């Protein structure tokens, strides 16, 4: 089963953000495995609840950090977060309607896991030089 893992190319320069990324990655891996092996609906629902709430909390914290450090990608980051929240709620609706279908398992990989890894590497990591410049 494809999983994603945190690696140093995802460093943002802010430990609390890195730790939140690790938690999000861990829960996405759990979600994919729970859905692929056909775990009970309740288990998948509780993972989706945790993930959705945690992602929103994380996005807020990260947007504050980017604003504080005058990060040039702050607006882009916030716009991408908004897209993810929309994707996540359409995912949630599909799950509530159809359950853990093969189509939805593919969506976890392509729209949630791959999105998160790419977003962290391309957008979130642009915070690191801003934090470094401020420290020097
Ligand atoms: Fe972000
Ligand atoms: Fe992030």
Closest ligand to C-alpha of residue 55 is 2
Q: Are 12 and 122 in contact (CB under 8 A)?
A: no
**Is the C-alpha dihedral spanning 76, 77, 78, 80 positive or negative?**
positive
Summarised one tens digit per residue, pLDDT across range 21-75 is: 999 999 999 999 999 987 789 999 999 999 999 999 999 999 999 999 999 999 9
Q: How far is the CA of 97 from the centre of ligand 2 (A)?
A: 29
How far is Cα 44 from Cα 90, in angstroms, rounded to an integer?
15
Q: How far is the CA of 90 from the centre of ligand 2 (A)?
A: 20
Q: What's residue 135's pLDDT?
A: 76
Closest ligand to C-alpha of residue 6 is 2
Q: What's residue 69's pLDDT?
A: 96
Q: How far is the CA of 31 from the centre of ligand 2 (A)?
A: 18
Closest ligand to C-alpha of residue 10 is 2
Q: Spell out the residues 6+ positions from residue 120 whose beta carbon is closer than 8 angstroms to its own.
A: 10, 12, 21
Q: Spell out the residues 6+ positions from residue 45 whose beta carbon is closer than 8 angstroms to its own.
A: 95
* Domain topology for 14-135: 1.20.120
- The domains of the chain are located at 14-135
Q: What's residue 2's pLDDT?
A: 76
Closest ligand to C-alpha of residue 81 is 1
Q: What's residue 97's pLDDT?
A: 96
pTM attached to this predicted model: 0.95
Q: How far is the CA of 100 from the centre of ligand 1 (A)?
A: 27
Summarised one tens digit per residue, pLDDT across range 84-134 is: 999 999 999 999 999 999 999 999 999 999 999 999 999 999 999 999 998
Q: How far is the CA of 77 from the centre of ligand 1 (A)?
A: 5
Q: How far is the CA of 17 from the centre of ligand 2 (A)?
A: 7
Q: What's residue 113's pLDDT?
A: 96
């Amino acid at each position: 089963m494809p999983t994603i893992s945190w690696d140093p190319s995802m460093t943002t320069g802010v430990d609390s953000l890195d730790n939140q990324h690790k938690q999000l990655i861990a829960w996405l891996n759990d979600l994919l495995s729970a859905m692929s092996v056909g775990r009970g609906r309740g288990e998948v629902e509780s993972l989706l609840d945790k993930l959705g709430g945690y992602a929103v909390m994380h996005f807020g914290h990260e947007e504050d950090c980017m604003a504080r450090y005058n990060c040039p990608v702050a607006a882009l980051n916030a716009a991408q977060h908004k897209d993810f929240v929309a994707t996540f709620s359409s995912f949630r609706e599909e799950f509530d309607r159809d359950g853990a279908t093969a189509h939805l398992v593919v969506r976890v990989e392509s729209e949630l896991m791959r999105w998160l890894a790419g977003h962290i590497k391309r957008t979130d990591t642009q915070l690191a030089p801003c934090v470094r410049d401020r420290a020097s």
